[in-house]
Amino acid sequence: METAAQIYHIQENHKRKRLDRFLISATEDVSRTYLQKLIREGAVTINDKVSKQPSQTLRVGDQVCISFPESRPLETGQPEEIPLDILYEDNHLIVLNKPAGMLVHPASGVNSGTLVNALLSHCSDLSGIGGVERPGIVHRLDKDTSGVLVVAKTDVVHRALSGQFEEHTITRQYVAVVCGIPSEVTGTIDAQIARSRRDRRRMTTVENNGRHAVTHYQVLEIYNKFSLVQLTLETGRLHQIRVHLQHIGHPVTGDAIYGGEQRALNDADTLPIKHALIHLRRQALHARTLQFEHPITHETLMFSAPKPADMHRLIDALRTLTRAHL
């Protein structure tokens, strides 16, 4: 694939600056996350030597070259007229309520029915930062997680929203039905996350050499052997909530990957609860609230989406057995 290269010469005012921080200031409309990805993939050289460390310190006289992959048409995803639950839309961005069961973007073996396919049909003016295979996608939700998600229509907005995510100024609140009852009503889970060496589909908590991850939680309701929990993300790692809840011994109900499916079925005390779990067919996790600053108008926007029917059915069944409001 052809590439477009940009060359920079480090001056006095940029000495001792991190490589990724220099590039984010030197390039236009490119997110720090994407730049770090290019660095790790070997697309950046310093003095003709590949540098794969975003934190590398620059010196006066260094020549930095970054090669951007040439844009290419989507190979796997095509526009599809799929209904979208749009909460807000203007010329700059779209906020929507993603249903459970929908992939955010095409992946191996799945070329249709994704959010990207639907968005390409809904509007053609989506940002392309991060590669055209994921147009407009600033952040993502797991396939079987429902809830609020924001999509950028322009590269400027994409970059600005990515910056808010990186600086942790965006508020993301989730609700989940978890197995068991946490010992504390409120708490913080601070545990590094890395990909599992045993199963590449899974993430796991590690003591060292993982990615910093912090999740705050508050127990909203207690049932017999289950709880309804509100979760606020401080960071946004892959599978973070699911991994962190498993880490403290309270996996998300219905989560087949992180131990919440079989445990929930074992702990189900009544037929209505078992039926609700069978019909759930996913982790009981919902992105309820998203709050951020509009990159163009600078208004503070907050959007919420109600829990979907499958989670309501489960909660109603649990409430009929036993409930204690906190």
Closest Cα to residue 3, out of 66, 59, 68?
A: 68
Q: Per-residue pLDDT for 41 more than 90?
A: no
Tens digits of residue pLDDT in 228-280? 999 999 999 999 999 999 999 999 999 999 999 999 999 998 999 999 999 99
pLDDT, residue 271, reads 94
pLDDT, mean of residues 313-326: 77
d(CA 148, CA 291): 10
d(CA 215, CA 77): 33
d(CA 308, CA 286): 8
Nearest-10 crossing angle of helices 155-166, 32-40: 80
Q: Per-residue pLDDT for 187 more than 70?
A: yes
pLDDT, residue 306, reads 97
Is residue 39 within a helix (H) or strand (E), and if so which, with residue range?
A: helix 32-40
Q: Is 90 a catalytic residue?
A: no
- Looking at per-residue confidence, does 272 or 75 come out higher? 272
Is 66 strand, coil or helix?
Answer: strand
- Looking at per-residue confidence, does 6 or 225 come out higher? 225
Work out the pLDDT band at 325, boundaries 50, 70, 90.
very low
Locate the domains of the chain by residue range: 3-69, 86-166, 171-325
CATH classification for the domain delimited by 86-166, as one of 3.10.450.50, 3.30.2350.10, 3.90.920.20, 3.30.1060.10: 3.30.2350.10
Q: Do domains 86-166 and 171-325 have the same CATH topology?
A: yes
Tokens 């060496």, residue located: 197
d(CA 118, CA 298): 28
Q: What is the pTM of this model?
A: 0.78
Is 97 strand, coil or helix?
Answer: strand
pLDDT, mean of residues 191-202: 88
Choosing from 62, 142, 255, 310, which is the catalytic residue? 142
Closest Cα to residue 30, out of 61, 75, 69?
A: 69
- Give the CATH H-level superfamily of domain 3-69: RNA-binding S4 domain (3.10.290.10)
Both tokens of 279, joined, read: 């019909």
Fill in the amino acid letter for 107.
A
Tens digits of residue pLDDT in 137-165? 889 999 999 999 999 998 888 888 988 88
The class that CATH gives domain 171-325 is alpha beta
